[in-house]
Amino acid sequence: MRATVAPPLSRAGLHDALAAIDWSRPWLDPYRVRGQRVAGRIQAGASVAKALNAEALHGPVPSLAAGPLQFVPQADLPAGIPYEAHIAATARVPTRDNLHDFFNGLVWWSEPGLKRRLNELQAAQIARAGGVGAHRGAVRDALTLFDENAALMSAPADVCELLRQRRWHPLFVERRDVWRRVRLRLFGHALLEKLVTPRKAITAHVFLSPPDTSPHLDAELLAAKPFWPLPVLGVPGWWPDNETAGFYDDPQVFRPLPEQSLATDRIIAM
């Protein structure tokens, strides 16, 4: 899905943006090796699209129904054709020279099955509506939220329940040791882009997922908005400031669950 507020950068601006990425951050673990490789090509003069395509030297190319995935310049997107529909029909991803599309490409390489499924669902929704209208609808809204800001989590049931209830102190302080058994992977490329400049308030939308497998997604599930908020810098081991329990005493970031939500919310079985 395409954020409309991320224009291409100048060559110098793109180099500065890439240089600002701290690849030692734990949330970048799944993307570090490939990301540094792609960033190196860009800093040597390649466009983001060409640098991403060169990853074919290091493994199988992701495939869509229309053929092998290819990153192309943004100008290759025909006027009036929706971004998601174009990808589904051609397997070509219009790509700008900015951090947003850089991270989008890394996620395509790292999670091709899930990215393909999101694209298929988006294209189907666009076709059903006869194009992109003024209102996206619940499913397309959820698909965009997932693609831009989701985190995939597999965790013990008690951790999931504490997160559902937004009981932050028990979740992050009293049960801190349990986080060694939690698998959390940031998926949303806008989320990864925002975390280049970490801020306490940056929040992921967590989607529960079985370990080591892509989650099953369908329109009905996504229409129910099956996400829970998680302030990313609160994750134990991910930010040094959260070693102090008082870090979580910030109701502007670690907000309680409204009473009406607590009464009606439920864990979605995966």
pLDDT of residue 264: 45
Distance between the two ends of the chain, CA-based, in angstroms? 24
- Average pLDDT on 197-226 reads 91
- Average pLDDT on 115-141 reads 86
CA 239/CA 232 separation, integer angstroms:
9
Q: Above 80 in pLDDT, residue 212?
A: no
- Considering the chain, what percentage of its residues have pLDDT values greater than 90? 82
Q: Write the secondary structure of the chain as one string of H (helix), E (strand) and C (coil).
A: CCCCCCCCCCHHHHHHHHHCCCCCCHHHHHHHHHHHHHHHHHHCCCCHHHHHHHHHHHCCCCEECCEECEEEEHHHCCCCCCHHHHHHHHCEEEECCCHHHHHHHHHHHHCHHHHHHHHHHHHHHHHHHCCCCCCCHHHHHHHHHHHHHEEEEECCHHHHHHHHCCCHHHHHHHCHHHHHHCEEEECCHHHHHHCCCCCCCCEEEEEECCCCCCCCCCHHHHHCCCCEEEEHHHCCCCCHHHHCHHHHCCCCCCCCCCHHHHHHCCCCCC
User: Is the whole model's pTM more than 0.85, yes or no?
Assistant: yes
Q: Which of 30-34, 215-219, 257-261 has the lowest mean pLDDT?
A: 257-261
220 Cβ neighbours under 8 A, 6+ residues apart? none
Q: Above 80 in pLDDT, residue 248?
A: yes
Per-residue confidence band for 11, with pLDDT thresholds at 50, 70 and 90: confident
CA 101/CA 71 separation, integer angstroms:
10
- Average pLDDT on 229-252 reads 96
Polymer length of the chain: 270
- Average pLDDT on 179-184 reads 95
Q: Above 90 in pLDDT, residue 129?
A: no
- Average pLDDT on 178-201 reads 97
pLDDT tens track for 42-90:
999 999 999 999 999 999 999 999 999 999 999 999 999 999 999 999 9
| CA neighbor of 232 nearest in space, from 206, 255, 265 | 206
- Average pLDDT on 22-50 reads 98
- Average pLDDT on 141-170 reads 96
Q: Above 60 in pLDDT, residue 191?
A: yes
